[in-house]
Structure 1
């Protein structure tokens, strides 16, 4: 099963991956990844997702905890969380290959209801559900270049993938994403607002109201779910977006700083260096050097 999925992902990324090794797909939230060399550190604020590592290895730090994911490992992120990661094992002969799919709370909520009507989930078995999960992912990947078939079968395959995740060893944490009044879901509503308005001042009162919580409870639960404060979360969103604008669109540090909401370029440069390890100009040169070496 893994070999078939690996081959399918390899073929798709060979023809569809961009310069960063990411192949976007017609399925919302699904992307395939290929890398032929280890990468530098990547900072991002991920949405809840599942990532199947098929070949190579990736190191990920979430909420201060470090993990290494290798071939046949599944990474589950059940909350919106700042992460630092790097592909640590990859070569031309054995490229890093992975499949990532963002989790859909609405699908999970529907499945929670369906499972509850059958008397609750079956006894969970990691190996069994992993096999079923990868089989469903394989069938979805094989349809990516068949748009007619994909349009018809995509919803049920995405639903099936979520089902096997709910039946697996991380099912309890994933299931909370579908509960409208769970702390994770309520904090998720505030995070969605922060993502939409990252460049604008957003008061704690407005965020707490979005989550349906009081100010103090919101602060506590936000940090529990994300490992950072709302202000730190917004700051990381701004810095990550500024970095993207500088690297992908060639914006100057000052232009990117103002576009993401900073009023002071010097403050932006200090906070950028604190997060990424280098000030903006030096960081952009380092990324270009790494790209030249890979090419």
Structure 2
């Protein structure tokens, strides 16, 4: 771990619990993880993620991105990905902080900056960027508020605005600026994604998705695949399986009950697709995760 991130890590370790912690700073989350032998499915929110220790590989369709404390990741929309966590070189576990992006706030901050003409072709909805000293210092000021919770309501919004300002100045400020443009292709696909998330347990209706996004069927499909690496139907299936896994981990529901809750008409089809997605049948997968969590808690 770089020495200039040690203060960040020390603060985070004082305020984190096992695996995932929602902090008192709105939309700021701390995540811990153990190295994994292979990639596993995960859902990235529309966020910026800073790794403080360890590294991670994420795959979007055929694109593989790797990042560590020397970079940060921006996800412009909710994306089902495959990820692989790696420990630090000295064996210390993966630690990261993520801030879910508020499109209205991004647009407000972007409006205060000089206009920029983005000439690059639109890529996917995710990007890796080099960390800068100014951005690292701003992040430290934001994390330091965790030690002064009474200051969070007054100061966290100010520091978050500065953080967004630094991000917009970065090499992938283009991607953030597109979040602030609701009538652009990214903004329209974000609306399509929101529709799918709100109706993930019902049959996907492309006409309703076109209405929600304001795009033709051909344009919707082209931009959706370009930004997410998936067709709308594939995206919905990924969401259903992720939701099913969370429901199984959260309670004592049977796999067949969960299958119908997330929208499957056949429990056997659900089990087959779950096995392909997560590498084990539902009951065994959840049992293995719970055992891993228990072992980490005792370590």
The 10-residue stretch of structure 1 (98-107 or 74-83) with the greater mean CA deviation from structure 2? 74-83
**2:243 matches 1:245:** no
Q: Which residue of 2 aligns with 1:273?
A: 275
Pairwise CA RMSD:
2.2
Aligned 1:96-245 pairs, distance under 5 A: 96-116=94-114, 120=116, 130-245=132-247
The Cα offsets for residues 223-277 of structure 1, whole Å up to 9 and x where unpaired, read as 1111101111111111101001111223210111111111110010111111111
How far did 1:145 drift? Answer: 4.3
Q: Is the 8 A contact 2:191 2:213 kept in 1?
A: yes
Which is worse superposed, 83-92 or 189-198? 83-92
Deviation at 1:74, TM superposition (A): 1.2
Question: Which residue number corresponds to residue 10 of structure 1?
Answer: 13
Deviation at 1:73, TM superposition (A): 2.4
The answer to whether the 8 Å contact 2:204/2:233 transfers is no
Query: Which residue is equivalent to 2:123?
Result: none
Contact persistence 1:30–1:99 (CA under 8 A): yes
Contact 2:60–2:228 (Cα < 8 Å) also in 1: no
Q: Are the equivalent residues in 2 in contact too, given 1:2–1:72 (CA < 8 A)?
A: no
Report 1:2-81 matches (<5 A): 2-13=5-16, 17-18=17-18, 21-35=19-33, 37-39=34-36, 41-81=39-79
Q: Give the Cα separation in 1 of the matches to 2:72 and 2:147.
A: 25
**1:84-142 deviations in Å (ceiling 9; x for gaps):** 113221599723221111222112211222113xx559xxxx87x72221222211111
Query: So what's the TM-score if we normalise by structure 1?
Result: 0.88
Distance in 1 separating the partners of 2:269 and 2:165:
46
SS for the counterpart of 1:152 is helix
Kept after mapping to 2: 8 A contact 1:60/1:84: yes
1:55·1:71 contact (CA, 8 Å) conserved in 2? yes
Aligned residues: 282
Distance of 1:101 and 1:292 partners within structure 2: 27
User: What's the CA shift for 1:196?
Assistant: 1.5
Q: Give me the TM-score of the superposition, normalised by structure 2.
A: 0.87
- 1:53–1:97 contact (8 Å) kept in structure 2: yes
Give ranges in structure 2 of 5+ residues lacking alignment. 118-128
SS at match of 2:245: helix
